[in-house]
Amino acid sequence: MAKSDILYLDAPGGKNTDKVLNAVAARLKEGDIKHVVVASDSGKTGLKAISRLKGSGALVVVVTEHCGFDKEGECAMTKETERKIIGAGGKIVCATHALSGVERSISRKIGGASRVESIAEALRALFGQGMKVAVEITIMAADNGAIPCGDVEVIAVGGTGWGADTACVVRPAHSNGFFNFRVREIIAIPRKR
């Protein structure tokens, strides 16, 4: 797959997961990328990515939402799934969403929208939920030290609802250096949002 090839999907959603992971595997064959960051709340997409990308030489970092996101005190990923991911050679990052976090709590309580939520909404509107997720999980992984930052590129894989529908090559940044973040290539993206 040449760097200029983009997989355009008809619609967003998890039904695209296999196609997206195949496109990521093809891009990894160029040999210049050593980290893949994958959004996966329950860990299913993360396990699928680790299996599909095995032998590529890339470390798969599975990023899940913070415990209590859906229900206070509960985590979306089970300890058993965590063990499977680590046992298969992946890393796990469980963290607060970089593009909402405490800001969302304030918006829900007193109204309005924060600047951070505005960035998230702009990414959703311009490029779709999957791209917003891909950017966000990369920041979360960088802030947790799971991927390198600086003059390096990683592949970020996000989705809409569940599974994967977006993949891109990015220059990661920490949350406090957000404007150093760059999307360098789009590997796969839905045409409709």
What is the structure's pLDDT at 4?
A: 64
Query: Between these two residues, 71 and 14, which has the higher pLDDT value?
Result: 14
Instruction: Provide the CATH number for the domain around residue 131.
Output: 3.40.1380.20
Q: Which domain holds residue 20?
A: 7-190
| Strands 59-65 vs 35-39: parallel, antiparallel or unpaired | parallel
End-to-end CA distance of the chain: 25
CA distance 187 to 80: 31
The verdict on residue 117 lying in a domain is yes
Examine residue 98 and state whether it is found in any structural domain, yes or no: yes
8 Å CB contact between 139 and 180: no
Q: Is position 1 within any domain?
A: no
The CB density around residue 66, as the number of other CB atoms within 10 Å, is 13
Q: Name the DSSP class of 19.
A: H
Q: pLDDT digits over 65-106, tens only?
A: 877 677 787 878 899 999 999 999 999 999 988 888 777 777
- Provide the H-helix boundaries in 35-173: 44-53, 79-87, 102-110, 115-127, 129-143
User: What is residue 113's predicted lDDT score, i.e. its pLDDT?
Assistant: 73
Total domains, the chain: 1
Q: Is residue 48 part of a domain?
A: yes
In tens, the pLDDT along 137-162 reads 999 999 999 999 989 999 999 999 89
Please state whether 153 falls in left (phi above 0), alpha (psi between -120 and 50) or beta: beta
Tens-place pLDDT, residues 30-74: 999 999 999 999 999 999 999 999 999 999 999 998 776 777 878
